[in-house]
Amino acid sequence: MDREKGLKEPFIAREGLRIIVPSLVLTAVLVIGGFFYLAIFVFCFALFCLYFFRNPRRYSNADTNSLLSPADGKIVDISEVNEQEFFGYKVNRIAIFMSPADVHVNRAPCPGRIKSMKRVDGKFAMAFGKNAEIKNEKNYILIENGGERVLVVQIAGFLARRIIPYVKVDQRVDRGQAVGMIAFGSRVDIYFHKEYEPVVSLHSRVKAGNTILARKKEVQ
């Protein structure tokens, strides 16, 4: 995403403001009322939310033949899977686990149009666990650009009970644009055509809208 558009994004995710502002107001009321210890507790909670809901500016000079990470976190799986619902054939998948300490705003790995979105109810097992992408609650965001498809899947975790999309079907998005967030520890998977080759390794750390995950293979 270019700098001009990036500057329009708030430094704090919108969901966080709904918690932080009332917490700060309550802190002031408690101080005035003489409840200092309780005020300190509420103020510390507000500081934690300020940190958790942070939305740092992200820019990348990546070329159009690359895909950016949709999430901050650690790569827990790189594999080929048979994805039938949105692709109908084998594709590459990279899974990224977000700990509570990571930024939880998710970003578009490429420019394009939101072709479809689908929310699926499920469990809230550990997001890094086996088959979490099958068992857990999730939200599918399919991005289409010039005939190419990239699928971003927001997966709820044990602590993460809220998946919040920022986009709608038919909306156009820029590379690196915020497309949603997941509250607390969770996971984001990205599915893409095999003509793109992963350039990251298992357990490496990545940043949404900044780290290049895959590049298009050169035509021989």
Could you tell me if residue 36 is left (phi over 0), alpha (psi between -120 and 50 degrees) or otherwise beta?
Answer: alpha
- Tell me what percent of the chain is helix, strand and coil, each rounded to the nearest 5: 20, 40, 40
Domain limits, the chain: 3-52, 66-216
Cβ atoms of 168 and 117 within 8 Å: the answer is yes
What is the pTM assigned to this prediction? 0.83
- Residue with the bigger pLDDT between 108 and 18: it is 108
Q: Write down the pLDDT at residue 4.
A: 47
> Which CATH architecture describes the domain 66-216?
Distorted Sandwich (2.70)
What is the C-alpha to C-alpha distance for residues 74 and 96, in angstroms, rounded to an integer? Answer: 5
What does the pLDDT look like over 76-128, one tens digit per residue?
999 999 998 899 999 999 999 988 889 889 999 999 999 999 998 877 656 55
Tokens of 166: 């920022």
Query: Which residues, other chains included, contact 72 with Cβ-Cβ below 8 Å and sequence gap of 6+?
Result: 96, 98, 102, 103, 104, 206, 207, 208
**pLDDT number for residue 8:** 60
Residue 164 pLDDT greater than 70, yes or no? yes
Q: What percent of the chain has pLDDT over 90?
A: 57
Least confident stretch, 26-35, 57-66, 169-178, 183-192: 57-66
pLDDT at 28 over 50: yes
What's the pLDDT at 217? Answer: 82
Name the pLDDT band for 58 (thresholds 50, 70, 90).
confident
Question: What Å distances lie between residue 116 and 90, 120, 151, 154, CA to CA?
Answer: 20, 13, 10, 14
Q: Say if residue 54's pLDDT is above 80.
A: yes
Q: Specify the range with the lowest mean pLDDT, choosing from 34-48, 58-72, 137-151, 167-181.
A: 58-72
Mean pLDDT of the chain: 86
Higher-confidence position of 130 and 92: 92
The stretch 16-45 carries a mean pLDDT of 92
In the 8-state DSSP scheme, what is residue 123?
B
Whether 117 and 151 have beta carbons less than 8 Å apart is answered as no
Which are the catalytic amino acids?
186
User: If you average pLDDT over residues 45-61, what whole number do you get?
Assistant: 85
pLDDT given at position 72: 95
Using pLDDT thresholds of 50, 70 and 90, give the confidence band for residue 218.
confident
- Name the pairing type of β-strands 73-83 and 205-206: antiparallel
Which carries the bigger pLDDT value, residue 11 or residue 40? Answer: 40
